[in-house]
Amino acid sequence: MSTTVIPEMPGQEIPAQSRVNYLNASYGVKSWLLTTDHKRIALLYLGSITLMFFVGGFFAVLMRLHLIEPQGALVAPETYNKLFTMHGVIMVFFFLVPSIPATLGNFLVPMMIGARDLAFPRLNLLSWYIYVIGAAFTLYAVISGGVDTGWTFYTPYSSTFSHTSVIPTALGVFITGFSSILTGLNFVVTIHKMRAPGLTWFRLPLFIWAMYATSIIFILGTPVIAITIFLLGLERLLHIGIFDPAIGGDPILFQHMFWFYSHPAVYIMILPGMGVMSELITCFSRKRIFGYTFVAFSSLAIAIISFLVWGHHMFVTGQSIYAGLIFSVLSFLVAIPSAVKVFNWTATLYKGSISYDAPMLYALGFIGLFTMGGLTGLFLASLATDVHLNGTYFIVAHFHYIMVGGAVMAYLGGIHFWWPKITGRMYPDGWARFAALIIFVGFNLTFFPQFVLGYLGMPRRYAVYPSEFQVLNVMSSAGASILGIGYLIPLIYLLWSIRYGPIAGPNPWGAKGLEWETPSPPPTENFEEIPVVTEDAYDYANVGGSRV
């Protein structure tokens, strides 16, 4: 295994193992469960969302095994319907939405801006508890028979016809939403008010810009889904026709309200990954980002425009042609800032000094897969093709390319990049690169055939399907087994490295950023003295190194 060897920045010593850091500053369950240290809270989240990821992933494995046979190989249709619903609910609300913000965001936001903690540390801990309580309700729903409405809870099926645990699931999602709202609030206030002296907005790392844009969506979008779910729950309990047309309600209104949050939600899932990208690409090509201002503003543009495109999920509901035209044009518009980012990341590599560490492999995989996923969005923003492709596997492939090929790869890249900072240990690089490759191959084999399936007309959420679709389904399931193995490998070696990995110095990658100017792992208060910033972000050409 080889690690890139960078000469240490002048003035930093390799710390002794017995030094006090945030991990060993205090011991015992109470010191973790009642912590207000943003770094410990990040780890609490890391544990919880990893658990939820493997629960949701387990359901996906069952689904893909089931779909090997046209008549279904594993479970009854009613069970399959519950599997895809719970896979969606858990992955969207309990893994993807919190993933990078609650783990890497919580850990890094104060450190990257030179602060000692977030603005409201106790609120941060409350956010985690709220997440856990919401997850508990949803897991209860899973155990008590499951829910089968699809993660989109369309009415009137979910309000009136489904006989499954809709209310516990809805309650779980409702409660967890407040976790996001409070995290977003914390980030916005922290970034506005607690930047170190000299750290102007345009010197901030792009990860911070991405967290800020994500927080805007948390704050503005999540309350609307909360109200929508609450109304759904009331309708289910009291049978007043809010969304059920048989008693005077409007099922399409539900879709408008649902997607008003859930479309921006998908940008919650990708923007943080884009922030991670900017950090990885700059470090591993050892260059300043190309087009800093454009990348920064594109994050804000994506956040704002994301609130204007929700109707593209509803092109075939019978909404007016003119509404369709407006949502279509805005959906094309929202693609442009993402394209700008991809071009800027690529240009950053030009004349750089590129190393092939595992985080960089994840980053490069992200750029390719996100590009493909994003471009397939154009098929869906186009009204005429969306008519054919909506409700089919094309959609499934499109969003998995972005959420798995994009967001999850970025998440893994970030975890690997900051692992030495978080744990003070290095993971085995050979295994890491191998896993990245397995994940990339497995992912493409799983989801590329689904584009073809969608174009052929195979609808999504089908427990059984016509036999002419079998070959492509089997290919997809084969890929899924590879992907599943790929995800297990990092779980194993990352856990192993906590105990047995080589000790890491403050800055094993030679990266720029205030977080790399602290020991690994950092002390509880992050900085002995709050640094004063005099350089721009990613100033790799400047040999002096430190920003102080």
Out of 379, 417, 447, 509, which residue is the one contacting other proteins (CB under 8 A)?
Answer: 379
Binding pattern for the stretch 237-266 against other proteins, x by CB under 8 A and - elsewhere: xxxxxx--xxxx-xxxx---x--x------
State the number of binding residues for other proteins (CB under 8 A): 162
463 near other proteins, rule: CB under 8 A: yes
Q: What are phi and psi of 24, to 5 degrees?
A: -105, 10
> What Rg do the C-alpha atoms of the chain give, in angstroms?
23
Of the candidate residues 286, 312, 433, 512, the single one contacting other proteins (CB under 8 A) = 286
Q: Minimum CB separation from other proteins for residue 500, in Å?
A: 26
Q: Which stretch binds other proteins (CB under 8 A): 185-193, 204-212, 414-422, 493-501?
A: 185-193
Binds other proteins (CB under 8 A): choice among 57, 105, 146, 156: 156
CA distance 156 to 424: 52
| Residue 304 touches other proteins, criterion: CB under 8 A | no
Report the C-alpha gap between 311 and 160 in whole angstroms: 24
> Pick from 132, 234, 300, 308: which binds other proteins (CB under 8 A)?
234
Q: Is 198 in the site for other proteins (CB under 8 A)?
A: no
Question: Per CB under 8 A, which of residues 391..430 are in contact with other proteins?
Answer: 391-392
What minimum distance in Å lies between the beta carbon of 34 and other proteins?
4
Q: Which stretch binds other proteins (CB under 8 A): 94-102, 166-174, 279-287, 421-429?
A: 279-287
The distance in angstroms from the start CA to the end CA of the chain is 34
Angle formed at CA 443 by CA 438 and CA 446, multiple of 5 degrees: 125
- 235 near 241, Cβ under 8 Å? yes
Q: Does 16 bind other proteins (CB under 8 A)?
A: no
Which CB, 500 or 542, lies closer to other proteins? 542
Per CB under 8 A, 467 contacts other proteins: no
Q: Which is nearer to other proteins, 221 or 500 (CB)?
A: 221
Q: Which of 438, 444, 420 is nearest to 507 (CA)?
A: 420
ω before 156 within 30° of 0 (cis)? yes
124/497 with CB nearer other proteins: 124
Question: Does the protein bind other proteins through residue 432 (CB under 8 A)?
Answer: no
138 or 376: whose CB is closer to other proteins? 376
Residue with smaller CB distance to other proteins, 262 or 524: 524
d(CA 207, CA 53): 23
Neighbour tally for 224: CB within 10 Å:
18
Nearest in space to 317 (alpha carbons), one of 246, 383, 403: 383
User: Helices in 403-544 by DSSP H: which ranges?
Assistant: 409-423, 429-456, 470-500
As given in the structure block, the two tokens for residue 146 are 């499951």
Among 230, 293, 291, 301, smallest CA distance to 267 is for 301
**Among positions 14, 143, 471, 488, the unique one binding other proteins when judged by CB under 8 A:** 471
Determine if 220 is a binding residue for other proteins (CB under 8 A).
Answer: yes
Q: Give the Cα-Cα-Cα angle 241, 243, 245 (nearest 5 degrees).
A: 70
Of the candidate spans 43-51, 91-99, 268-276, 476-484, the one that interacts with other proteins by CB under 8 A turns out to be 476-484
Measured in degrees and rounded to the nearest 5, phi and psi for residue 499 equal: -95, -45
Tell me how far, at minimum, the Cβ of 181 lies from other proteins, in Å.
Answer: 5
With CB under 8 A as the contact rule, the residue among 12, 58, 150, 498 that binds other proteins is 150
- Which CB, 192 or 500, lies closer to other proteins? 192
Say whether 425 sits in a helix, a strand or coil.
strand
Provide, rounded to whole angstroms, the least separation between the CB of residue 138 and other proteins.
19
Among 277, 305, 524, 533, which residue interacts with other proteins (rule: CB under 8 A)? 524
Measured N-to-C along each axis, helices 251-285 and 321-349 cross at an angle, to the nearest 10 degrees, of: 10
Length of the chain: 548
Contact residue for other proteins among 465, 487, 493, 509 (CB under 8 A):
465
**Cβ pair 96, 83 in contact under 8 A:** no
Peptide bond into 449 cis (omega under 30): no
Binders of other proteins among 65-94, rule CB under 8 A? 65, 68, 77-78, 81
Alpha-carbon distances, residue 333 vs 134, 277, 377 (angstroms): 35, 22, 12
What does the alpha-carbon distance between residue 236 and residue 244 come to, in Å, rounded to a whole number? 10
* Residue 462 in contact with other proteins, rule: CB under 8 A: yes
Q: What b-and-e string marks burial along 392-401, b requiring 16 or more CB atoms within 10 Å of the CB?
A: bbbbbbbbbb
Q: In whole angstroms, what is the distance from residue 366 CA to residue 278 CA?
A: 11
Single out the segment in contact with other proteins by CB under 8 A; choices: 90-98, 135-143, 150-158, 417-425: 150-158
Is 437 among the residues that bind other proteins (CB under 8 A)?
Answer: no
By CB under 8 A, tell whether 358 contacts other proteins: no
Q: Please identify, using beta-carbon distances, which residue of 126 and 500 lies nearer to other proteins.
A: 126
Give the span between the Cα atoms of 548 and 535, in whole angstroms: 8
Residue 58 found at the interface with other proteins (CB under 8 A): no
293 binds other proteins (CB under 8 A): yes
Q: Per rule CB under 8 A, is residue 455 in the interface with other proteins? A: yes
Q: Does 532 bind other proteins (CB under 8 A)?
A: no
Residue 364 interacting with other proteins (CB under 8 A): yes
Cβ 141 vs Cβ 200: under 8 Å:
no
Which of 148, 279, 515, 517 contacts other proteins by CB under 8 A? 148
Residue 383 found at the interface with other proteins (CB under 8 A): yes
Q: Is the dihedral of CA 429, 348, 265, 385 positive or negative?
A: negative
Options 236-244, 263-271, 406-414, 493-501: segment touching other proteins (CB under 8 A): 236-244
Token readout for 329 is 């044009």
Contacting range for other proteins; rule: CB under 8 A; set: 35-43, 89-97, 201-209, 407-415: 35-43
